[in-house]
Structure 1
């Protein structure tokens, strides 16, 4: 490759899956047909970014060196600001500049905050796409979110409410934690804790202990599961055993696996009820379908109906930020 075909940038470079990315020079190939160069403005440090940089994500090719990241906000050479989804074949967005596939970007409205967009799009997208594409939510249906104690789970409760759920229940290990309480009223053994401003509105929303799922959420219509592992298996059987009408359809959508990559599921779970188990992620939903949902989701974030608390850090400090403890309820955004 000639010198005219590459440009020097700085990026968060992964040279070993056992070490954090390091801020160092990197050669960026020039854009090809259907691609564009962007100056990166903001990139969220999502759990998905970390799993990709460690080689643990199921889409990992194992090739090094690599520049991680799954999405970001950048400025095109003509001055337009866009949100873009990273292409696995291109240099990732954790860089001062990168090349994007122009089919995988959406122009942002004037005045949109790049940090807000970079922070919220990824955690909101999983539930947004699940409830609009994977199992389209019908007005008034009820939704259970397993993992409401995490940013994506708490966001999923707000998404469900926004999309017309009649009732939203979140299940968390600590239902009165700050993150879980952002999404709805927390129920615990000694009563309820009122949700703060910004919690899910437009539907009844509450957060309960995982141990109480069978009692409280037995007759929900859709489950968004960010946990998997043993907690999901236990919750699944508790809900199925407690259903008043086992012929009532239950759609269980597996999204994340923070509690473990596998479960032990009795076969009776799939025979004793009208129960559908499916996943939502890269491969389960086409890239075209994901991209079609971006403009509407961006509108909700720009309007402030879906948001996350953020903290920003310079991209040059990526190695330090990578190993620092995350503040609950806050999404780190790296800015060049």
Structure 2
């Protein structure tokens, strides 16, 4: 089969021939139709992540959409979303014509949402949805602040907060393009980022928020924690803006506020399935979406480089 094959840690994968996956007990074979290129793919392939160096060569791709070809639990021809452990454990991922997937990681799809859009939403949508519902336990009428509002997680968090009944959704953004994406996702207000934490706190200060969804951390999280309401919850998903933030003990205690962590690795396959299903129900109506563009599998090298340098207009999705 044709695949994106990584031969050197830290270098882009190349479009090449690769052995077909083999079905086994508990393993289904999926013909891949779409797979997003996400930061986790690049991190794992770098060989510098806490997962260790993946054995080479291997096919990256931690998630995808496709059609089941062989399976003992799902009928052939069934459309599915799936997650993989490519780069985190032995085995190949979704950047190929076919992928071997543990049966438990198949999510059967019954949606009119096109495959590339499903892939663009993917695990970013799971993180946003679960952070709001499971970790923050968002209640209707609360106010939400989304850090990194122009990113994939941020866009889903904005849309999800609205369908879950948030009274107001504010997005923190870094660029004009991110501003447009956040507004298109449904943000009531956008706030421009500042590296000066006091200045950023002032910009955010007009809104006291109940829930912060944070894929950024760093200065953004430091400022956001200062504007939490009584009983407020900040849920951290990632650290694209830095690995450390500073929180005031007096603010957290006086407001009985919470700082919570979240990772998709901590949820069950059933929770992942339910989150994907819920998000796609709203995506089908246009209430939740992620800006994306499609590229062919043969163009994986250029797509990888664009993801690495941030030269994208949205989520990059390989069509296969």
Q: TM-score, normalised by structure 1?
A: 0.81
Name the CA shift for 1:314/1:182 in 2 (closer, same or farther; >3 Å): closer
CA distance in 1, matches of 2:297, 2:149: 29
Structure-2 residue corresponding to 1:308:
290
Q: Distance in 1 between matches of 2:147 and 2:224?
A: 9
Cα drift, residue 119 of structure 1: 1.2
Equivalent residue, structure 1, for 2:161: 160
User: C-alpha distance in 2, partners of 1:270/1:55?
Assistant: 37
Deviations 1:7-35 (A, max 9, x none): xx332122222211122232344122122
Counterpart of 1:120 in structure 2 is 121
Structure 1 match to 2:276 = 294
Deviates more, 1:160-169 or 1:259-268: 259-268
Distance in 1 (alpha carbons) for counterparts of 2:275 and 2:18: 33
Q: For 1:179, what is the secondary structure of its paired residue?
A: helix
Cα distance, 1:287 vs structure 2: 4.0
Cα 1:287–1:263 change in 2 (3 A) is: farther
The aligned runs of 1:1-336 (5 Å cut-off) are 9-58=1-50, 60-65=51-56, 66-77=58-69, 78-88=76-86, 89=89, 90-109=91-110, 111-174=112-175, 177-184=176-183, 198-200=184-186, 205-210=188-193, 211=200, 212-217=202-207, 219-236=208-225, 238-239=226-227, 248-324=230-306, 326=310, 328-336=312-320
CA distance in 2, matches of 1:302, 1:22: 34
Query: Within 1, Cα distance between the matches of 2:152 and 2:276?
Result: 19
Give 1:199 shift. Answer: 4.0
Between 87-96 and 223-232, the greater mean CA deviation after superposition: 87-96
1:189 aligned residue: none
Structure 1 gaps of 5+ residues are 1-8, 185-197
Residues 133-142 or 227-236, more deviating:
227-236
Going from structure 1 to structure 2, the CA distance change for 1:70 and 1:10 (only over 3 Å counts) comes to same
Contact 1:179 1:328 in 2 (8 A): no
The alpha carbon displacement at 1:94 in A equals: 0.8
- Give the paired residue count: 301
Task: Summarize the Cα distance change of 1:182–1:63 in structure 2 as closer, same or farther, 3 Å threshold.
Answer: closer
- CA distance in 2 between partners of 1:110 and 1:148 (Å): 26
Relative to structure 1, is the Cα distance of residues 124 and 268 closer, same or farther in structure 2, using a 3 angstrom cutoff? same
CA RMSD, aligned part only?
2.3
Residue 3 of structure 1 is matched in structure 2 by none
After TM superposition, give the deviation of residue 239 of structure 1 in Å: 1.8
SS in structure 1 opposite 2:222?
A: helix
User: Matched residue of 1:182: which SS?
Assistant: helix
CA distance in 2 between partners of 1:213 and 1:57 (Å)? 35
User: Normalising by the residue count of structure 2, what TM-score does the alignment of the two structures yield?
Assistant: 0.85
Measured in 2, the distance between the counterparts of 1:110 and 1:295 equals 9
Q: Say if 1:117 and 1:302, in contact at 8 Å, map to a contact too.
A: no
Report the Cα offset of residue 53 of structure 1.
Answer: 2.3
Q: Higher Cα Rg: structure 1 or 2?
A: 1
- Is the alpha carbon distance of 1:146 and 1:309 closer, same or farther for their aligned partners in structure 2, counting shifts above 3 Å? closer
